[in-house]
Structure 1
Amino acid sequence: MDKQEELLRVIAKAERPLLVREIMRALNLHRDEGDDVKKRLRRVVRAGQVIRLRGRRYGMAKDLDLVSGRLKGHPDGFSFVIPDPPPPGAPSVEKQSDVYIGFKKNGDAMHGDHVVARVEKHKGEGKREGRVIRILERAHTQIVGRFEPGRDMAFLVPADRCIAENLCILPENIEKAAAGDVVVAKILSYPKKGHPAEAKVVRILGRIEDSEIDTDTVIASYGLPCEFPEPVLAEASQMPETVSDAMCVGRRDLRALPTVTIDGETARDFDDAISIAPENSGYRLWVHIADVADYVKSDGVLDREAYERATSVYFPDAVLPMLPENLSNGICSLKPHEDRLTLTAEMLFSSEGQMLFHDLYESVICSDARMTYTDVQKIIEGDTETRTSYTSLLPEFEAMDKLAKILRHLRFSRGSLDFDLPSPKIVIDATGETIDIIREERQTANRL
């Protein structure tokens, strides 16, 4: 029995919730092992197996009928507690069902808060009902919403409809907001005993009718970083704008290979490219990935900023890049007719699709064309005008199509499934308004 299981056994066996010192006594541990016990307790609490009660006592959640998790609100006022998932490495437990929290049973908690709920009813098919009895951690310090003036005070109507209750704004906290403004408001006090949360306007994003207000609302609601800190911009400014001969030393020169990028029409940066050539009744394929690590050094300010951002965030009218634009849309983007540093996976396939050889190495390439899925599909279907525009690359596209079909057939012969689920495509006009939702076609070009 490992230490975690032994800890759970002691808590489960007890007739009442235990203090840390009582747990240590039952485990025959010394005082200097207290930090380790507390660490293990935090893990089982996060896993939802153990609940920390008032008075710093710990008890088994299943015995106390308590559940810790995130409160998921609904516009109609009710909510659900989504049980906390087990932390990595924790003992596996049976998945818990959500707990339905009826109207006025949320204990002053707001959507997103980390809470403890007491289960009051067990229904069929594992359904549970309960009420929030404790708020462990608040999810919000700021709320984005529509400002609406009232007689004695103003109100903030949250943009997130999961936050069902409006926040009140006293006259001294209105700043210069007017009816119909979308604002960011700082929470001054949280809901308490039937009284709504109180907030203060700290920023006016714009008017509700502005075309870009939806994007600004999402950015502000999720706290997405718009600007890069000065040290990050300073390091990025030192990066070269073009690839020099010195930078290519030690890399395999693949600039003579016919190479293309294939992306959607709205793609803003290009981080992968492919090359292909028929060889001995088979195919040699090169897949190139932009070698960002050559510019972004491990644990440097650029690396740490990219780690914090995790990914680029795309909107219909804007992008919040993971790296400054001179990198993401410049030296690290595989633009056509410009030398770029890459990592290349080279593979040799037989005519039946069996991989005969593979290698991975640093390289330098020069893309011949920025292709879209639409243009590639037209080439595959034999569109004369498009094929004429890319005459020099036709052998490569035909080889891509043939190899893709061979590999696809081989994959399905091994029992692979392709659900081919429909993907919606939202069509917007020049003002950012949604005008249609259509099914996005997945054609041969998307499967290359």
Structure 2
Amino acid sequence: MTRRRSTAPAKPQDPHHQREAKKYANPIPSREFILETLAAQGVPLSSDELAAALALKDEQDVIALERRLGAMVRDGQLVRNRNQVYCPVNKRDLIAGRVIGHPDGFGFVRPEEGGDDLYLYPKEMRALFHGDRVVVRVSGRDRRGRLEGAVVEILERNTRSVVGRLYKEGGVGFVVPDNKRLTHDIIIPSDRINGAEQGQIVVAEITDQPTQRTQPLGRIGQVLGDHMAPGMETDIAIRTHALPVDWPAEVESEIADLTAEVPEAAKQGRTDLRQLPLVTIDGADARDFDDAVYCERKPKGWKLLVCIADVSSYVQPGTALDKEAQARGNSVYFPDRVIPMLPEILSNGLCSLNPQVDRLCMTAELYINGEGKVTRTRFFEAVMRSQARLTYDQVAAMVVDGDGELCERFAEVLPHLHELYQLYQVLHGTRAARGAIDFDTTETKFVFTDQGRIEAVVPQVRNDAHRLIEECMLAANVAAARLFQRKRIPAVYRIHDTPSEEKLTDLREFLGQLALKLPGGPKPTAADYAQLLEQVQGRADRRLIQTVLLRSMQQAMYSSDNAGHFGLAYDAYTHFTSPIRRYPDLIVHRLIKHLLAGGTAADLDLSKIELQQVAEHCSGTERRADEATRDAEDWLKCEFMQDKLGEKFDGTITSVNSFGIFVELDEVYVDGLVHITALDNDFYHFDPIGHRLHGERTGTVYRLGDRLRVQVAAVNLDDRKIDFVLADAAPRGGGKRPKSGEQKQTPSSEPAAGKSRSRGKRKRQSGGSKPAS
């Protein structure tokens, strides 16, 4: 019998070795392979045990592995326990995510890999600030069935400075943060007040983060002032939410040689579209033009070109410019200014598709038949020249109203505008056919005086030109997402998940009270929502029903996992059309270029894990921008209402809570609170399902969507709150007694969804002309 010779175990093969070899001269196992190895072993491993499992013997390889493990701990992929062994997050009930603080002291953790938020009790929040990254373990469920979390490890601190008002007591100062999600007062020792006075608005630099036993400590770094000068509300919002404003020296150095003209060498090898009558269509106040369109009739339909600024040609991976763009995540549009994602030489210059100049672009070519179905798509790099910079109002005046003067002025591009309008009407019809939800909401903008003071809040009217561009952008975004699906390549998707089971239960109970039913069974689709909206069009309570439907839906976000877009009724959707102002779009452009160069998933520089990290970060910067602009807008609304104390207005109830009702004023588009204590003619119970307050003795009902006449009672600039009281003893339209047979609900102290807010002026509106969802 021949004895088999023993051999050493073969070195395991990393399926991502090729990608790692492109990045490093001496590649080590990828993050995915490390996680797979830990999963295969089934137990936590030390760094030495992992090195053995991965057959790493060279000392330099082992050191590099330890560094990678440390980075994976910082990124929330691994946890190292007290025994110095590593185990994967999302195993053994460990979840990484961002902390979302609440003004009442509790908080939530939003998992980085998606899923339901975990509730954090106030005691867990003692050592945390809003925005910190943590790893938590699932500690239980509350009475509503929500997951509760306990902090295992703080991965990253988010708050380094705080804007707020300084107060002094006994020689010691403390700063009350302007951001109400930050519930810790910052203690300022007497030797660190640096001359700041009582009541001044200051920037406090955090020197010691909070712990379970101590409050955060800080020092005064800057005094912003005593009163709010014009534009100060934006300055405070920028500092409160730590928005990057100044460009690092490395970025300034990288862009120093850029000029306003595209170099001739950069145009070589691209499809030449300069002779086509491409046009940009934007708002009258837009300065950065990132998309241009062209449409021509074909025998079986239309050919649509959507040309997008080729930002990826100027912003290369790994550069200081790229790192800064990723850190910002998106441009931020305040009522009085813009904080751009890219320096002005790019955002308003080289990348902006300005008229009558050559520009580099990425083009989506779509062939669309007479039924609105996209039959063929192609992406390519091109050079273009916009033939005209048009506004929405101009286009609508030409193609809808037939304005003679404008039609003559833009005669060269007019035939193609008419083809665009014909195509839009077909595409808009397919929107209804696939069941996309179309909510009827009012967007607003601010009007300022020459001195920078707010003069009015006015509605922004959307016309067919807005919708025309929206449909073109949607078509291009869907084409990009489907390209990734066909090529089976990791990507960043824009996802909008289906409503949660809990919200659907509440929604159905609410609709049942109105003798309505949401179609679709346990898993309704967007078409079911759209069908119900169509069904209630003629009802007096249509606005109430639409608001409750809207609040039952999830928030759209970015993800490397394609979950589809519920609201738009797409199986796959991404953001391709705005790389000047959104970093995910820039990533999408790089992925498309990788495919155009013949690349595959195997040799892609970005792993799915890295794409998910980008997606989660950009979802966070998007929320940060929304919160910052909302803070500035709320301040402006309070400033606008300061001289209207005692005045009476008609309005509509936009939210009902256990502590009162929010009312939006007609024609002013500002909302405020009628506190429960101001309803002093009865004791009111809150019905969260019916979105109403119900009087115990009189039977008076205040419900979402009811009409009221209110009087301005108080305006608090610091808290950004406006208080109303009822103007009449008998409210007009609101305060109704229940109709015969209407079921009385059990009182509840659970708050309903937060109040709705009108939005301020910006280049792009969520749900506006160019899709932000």
Counterpart among 17, 20, 33 of residue 46 in structure 2:
20
Counterpart among 362, 386, 389 of residue 367 in structure 1:
386
Q: Is the aligned partner of 1:201 residue 2:220?
A: yes
Quick one: which amino acid aligns to residue 56 of structure 1?
Q
SS state of the match for residue 445, structure 1?
helix
Q: Which residue number in structure 1 is paired with residue 252 of structure 2?
A: 233
Equivalent residues of 1:11, 1:59 under 8 A apart: no
SS state of the match for residue 125, structure 2?
coil
Counterpart among 424, 429, 436 of residue 404 in structure 1:
424
Equivalent residues of 2:107, 2:120 under 8 A apart: yes
Shift in alpha-carbon separation, 1:20–1:286, aligned structure 2, 3 A: closer
Counterpart among 85, 90, 93 of residue 113 in structure 2:
85
SS state of the match for residue 419, structure 2?
helix
Highest RCO, 1 vs 2 (Cα 8 Å, sep ≥ 6):
2
Query: Which residues of 2 match residues 86-165 of structure 1 at below 5 A?
Result: 95=115, 98-101=118-121, 103-115=122-134, 122-129=141-148, 132=151, 135-165=154-184
Equivalent residues of 2:174, 2:186 under 8 A apart: yes
SS state of the match for residue 126, structure 1?
coil
Which stretch shifts more, 56-65 or 164-173?
56-65
Q: Is the aligned partner of 1:428 residue 2:443?
A: no
Equivalent residues of 1:337, 1:369 under 8 A apart: yes
Shift in alpha-carbon separation, 1:116–1:390, aligned structure 2, 3 A: same
Q: Which residue number in structure 2 is paired with residue 287 of structure 1?
A: 306
Q: Which residue number in structure 2 is paired with residue 56 of structure 1?
A: 84
CA distance in 1, matches of 2:268, 2:188: 63
SS state of the match for residue 361, structure 2?
strand
Q: Is the aligned partner of 1:446 residue 2:464?
A: no
Deviation at 1:242, TM superposition (A): 3.2
Equivalent residues of 1:116, 1:136 under 8 A apart: yes
CA distance in 2, matches of 1:196, 1:350: 64
Q: Which residue number in structure 2 is paired with residue 168 of structure 1?
A: 187
Shift in alpha-carbon separation, 1:317–1:389, aligned structure 2, 3 A: farther
Identity fraction in percent: 33
Provide, for residues 350-392 of structure 1, a one-character-per-residue CA deviation record: whole Å limited to 9, x for no partner.
5455667655544443323222223222333215366446450
CA distance in 1, matches of 2:383, 2:136: 58
Q: Which residue number in structure 2 is paired with residue 71 of structure 1?
A: 99
Q: Which residue number in structure 2 is paired with residue 418 of structure 1?
A: 436
Shift in alpha-carbon separation, 1:241–1:185, aligned structure 2, 3 A: same
Equivalent residues of 2:291, 2:306 under 8 A apart: yes
CA distance in 1, matches of 2:285, 2:351: 18
Select the structure that is richer in strand. 1
Which stretch shifts more, 283-292 or 326-335?
283-292
Q: Which residue number in structure 2 is paired with residue 271 of structure 1?
A: 290
Shift in alpha-carbon separation, 1:124–1:297, aligned structure 2, 3 A: closer
Equivalent residues of 1:423, 1:439 under 8 A apart: no
SS state of the match for residue 199, structure 1?
strand
Shift in alpha-carbon separation, 1:161–1:390, aligned structure 2, 3 A: same
Shift in alpha-carbon separation, 1:351–1:387, aligned structure 2, 3 A: farther
CA distance in 1, matches of 2:288, 2:110: 37
Deviation at 1:304, TM superposition (A): 5.0
Provide, for residues 255-304 of structure 1, a one-character-per-residue CA deviation record: whole Å limited to 9, x for no partner.
33322101123322112211233344743433322334455566555455
Equivalent residues of 1:51, 1:68 under 8 A apart: no
Equivalent residues of 1:82, 1:99 under 8 A apart: no
Equivalent residues of 2:447, 2:458 under 8 A apart: no
Provide, for residues 139-158 of structure 1, a one-character-per-residue CA deviation record: whole Å limited to 9, x for no partner.
32222222233341222111
Shift in alpha-carbon separation, 1:185–1:346, aligned structure 2, 3 A: same
Deviation at 1:328, TM superposition (A): 1.9
Shift in alpha-carbon separation, 1:114–1:333, aligned structure 2, 3 A: closer
Quick one: which amino acid aligns to residue 101 of structure 2?
G
Given the two structures, how large is their TM-score scaled by the length of structure 2? 0.47
Shift in alpha-carbon separation, 1:141–1:229, aligned structure 2, 3 A: closer
Shift in alpha-carbon separation, 1:138–1:385, aligned structure 2, 3 A: same
SS state of the match for residue 242, structure 2?
coil
SS state of the match for residue 289, structure 1?
strand
Q: Is the aligned partner of 1:258 residue 2:277?
A: yes
CA distance in 1, matches of 2:76, 2:251: 37
CA distance in 2, matches of 1:63, 1:334: 48
Equivalent residues of 1:73, 1:79 under 8 A apart: yes
User: What stretches of structure 1 of length at least 5 have no aligned partner?
Assistant: 13-17, 87-94
Equivalent residues of 1:106, 1:131 under 8 A apart: no
CA distance in 2, matches of 1:181, 1:402: 58
Deviation at 1:162, TM superposition (A): 1.1
Shift in alpha-carbon separation, 1:84–1:38, aligned structure 2, 3 A: farther
Equivalent residues of 1:11, 1:60 under 8 A apart: no
Equivalent residues of 2:250, 2:320 under 8 A apart: yes
Deviation at 1:75, TM superposition (A): 1.3
SS state of the match for residue 184, structure 2?
coil
CA distance in 1, matches of 2:201, 2:107: 25
Q: Which residue number in structure 2 is paired with residue 91 of structure 1?
A: none
Query: Which residues of 2 match residues 3-42 of structure 1 at below 5 A?
Result: 4=35, 7=38, 20=46
Which stretch shifts more, 398-407 or 417-426?
417-426
Equivalent residues of 1:116, 1:132 under 8 A apart: yes
CA distance in 2, matches of 1:168, 1:67: 32
Quick one: which amino acid aligns to residue 427 of structure 1?
K
Which stretch shifts more, 69-78 or 165-174?
69-78
Counterpart among 318, 321, 330 of residue 311 in structure 1:
330
Deviation at 1:349, TM superposition (A): 4.5
CA distance in 1, matches of 2:426, 2:86: 59
CA distance in 2, matches of 1:21, 1:346: 51
Q: Which residue number in structure 1 is paired with residue 686 of structure 2?
A: none
Deviation at 1:116, TM superposition (A): 5.7
Quick one: which amino acid aligns to residue 393 of structure 2?
T
CA distance in 2, matches of 1:439, 1:72: 31
Quick one: which amino acid aligns to residue 122 of structure 1?
R
Quick one: which amino acid aligns to residue 437 of structure 2?
F
CA distance in 1, matches of 2:99, 2:309: 41
Given the two structures, how large is their TM-score scaled by the length of structure 1? 0.76
Equivalent residues of 2:296, 2:302 under 8 A apart: yes
Shift in alpha-carbon separation, 1:100–1:320, aligned structure 2, 3 A: closer
Deviation at 1:424, TM superposition (A): 5.2
Deviation at 1:55, TM superposition (A): 4.5
CA distance in 1, matches of 2:93, 2:312: 50
Shift in alpha-carbon separation, 1:161–1:25, aligned structure 2, 3 A: same
